[in-house]
Amino acid sequence: MTGVLIDGKQVAAALRAEVAAKVATLPYQPGLAVVLVGDDPASAVYVRSKDRAAAAAGIAARTIRLPAATAQAELLATIAALNADPTVDGILVQLPLPPQIDARAVIEAIDPAKDVDGFHPVNVGHLHEGRPTLVPCTPLGVMKLLASTGVALRGARALVLGRSGIVGKPMAALLTQADATVTVAHSRTRDLAAECRRAEVLVAAVGRPEMVRGDWVAEGAVVIDVGINRLPDGRLVGDCATAECAGRAAAITPVPGGVGPMTIACLLENTLTAAQARRG
Ligand code: NDP
């Protein structure tokens, strides 16, 4: 490997420490409520780590666990109660939700001022208008990882691989706002490899194990691998073939230990941002 591995754990630890230091100066304790519906094991793991990280940063975290059979009206009533609770600054509903629940309606029911996932249409709108308020945690974390590499985004050719609402689209908006020249590629893109090869900054968020090969990467590019894919043999890999890509990239995030830790650290930062905006 020639490319530098970007240490997401270290950047995330620094951000968590920064949030904790700011929280310690507040005359109140910010509150985060995480709602978990059902018993999806992966979701349960995520929720536990969010809870632990929040507590470590001095945030009052509480998890509301509801059974898998919860009716939509019941979940909406839970959200209404959290919206009205002055001790709650951030509300996060862990996705995916069971099939009887309309995730869109649930996200839209969250008070935008408490929407620490940044998925509410009001916050999505602010981001795309170029005046971000609460920004989705994963793309926000990617921007911080890019900053940690020192790569100049202004005028750079950036390629975002994937156009989901939680990663690709907000990622493209943030890079555009940072004055990069952004291309968004997806499953209908012709000659994906050629598009990737033009990029000075490549962010992969496709959910396809090791799809981005070494010869898709331009010499000296910075590569951020958002993908988390579990292989049949249990190994966890990203959307990029890390060793191959690192042979050409100037820097690349590993999986695990790259983007993943940043997502939770940014959730804590968003909770602090929401608390400060609400409470002055
Ligand atoms: P989605 O499935 O919602 O979106 C995937 C995107 O990739 C779509 O836009 C899709 O295109 C595109 N795509 C799929 N297959 C191909 C292909 N063969 N060629 C080109 N484009 C393709 O995924 P998410 O955005 O939610 O997540 C992406 C990855 O990031 C996953 O591995 C996920 O686990 C991971 N992730 C990691 C997080 C972290 O904290 N590190 C947080 C969130 C996600 P189209 O729109 O045309 O269908």
Position in ligand 1 atom list of the atom nearest CA 259: 41
Q: 28-111 with 136-260: one CATH topology? A: yes
The answer to whether 79 is annotated as binding is no
Going from the Cα of 140 to the center of ligand 1, the distance in angstroms, rounded, reads: 16
Task: Answer whether 30's CB lies under 8 Å from 61's CB.
Answer: no
The answer to whether 162 is annotated as binding is yes
CA distances from 129 to 143, 254, 276 (A): 18, 32, 22
Going from the Cα of 278 to the center of ligand 1, the distance in angstroms, rounded, reads: 33
CA–CA separation, 222 and 200 (whole Å): 6
CA–CA separation, 132 and 175 (whole Å): 12
Domain positions in the chain are: 28-111, 136-260
Position in ligand 1 atom list of the atom nearest CA 186: 21
* 261: preceding bond cis by omega (within 30 degrees): no
Fold of 136-260: Rossmann fold (3.40.50)
List 50, 114, 144, 169, catalytic entry: 50
Position in ligand 1 atom list of the atom nearest CA 255: 41
CA–CA separation, 129 and 191 (whole Å): 31
Residue 117: active-site member: yes
Going from the Cα of 166 to the center of ligand 1, the distance in angstroms, rounded, reads: 9
List 117, 144, 225, 239, catalytic entry: 117
Residues with CB under 6 A from ligand 1: 138, 162-164, 166-168, 186-189, 192, 205-208, 226-229, 259-260, 263
Residue 94: active-site member: yes
Position in ligand 1 atom list of the atom nearest CA 141: 40
The answer to whether 38 is annotated as binding is no
ipTM: 0.99
Going from the Cα of 164 to the center of ligand 1, the distance in angstroms, rounded, reads: 6
Taking the complete model, does pTM exceed 0.90, yes or no? yes
Going from the Cα of 96 to the center of ligand 1, the distance in angstroms, rounded, reads: 14
Q: Give me the average pLDDT of each 10-residue run along the chain (280 residues).
A: 88 98 98 97 93 97 97 98 98 97 98 98 97 97 98 98 98 98 98 98 98 98 97 96 97 97 98 96
The answer to whether 49 is annotated as binding is no
Name the CATH superfamily for 28-111. Leucine Dehydrogenase, chain A, domain 1 (3.40.50.10860)
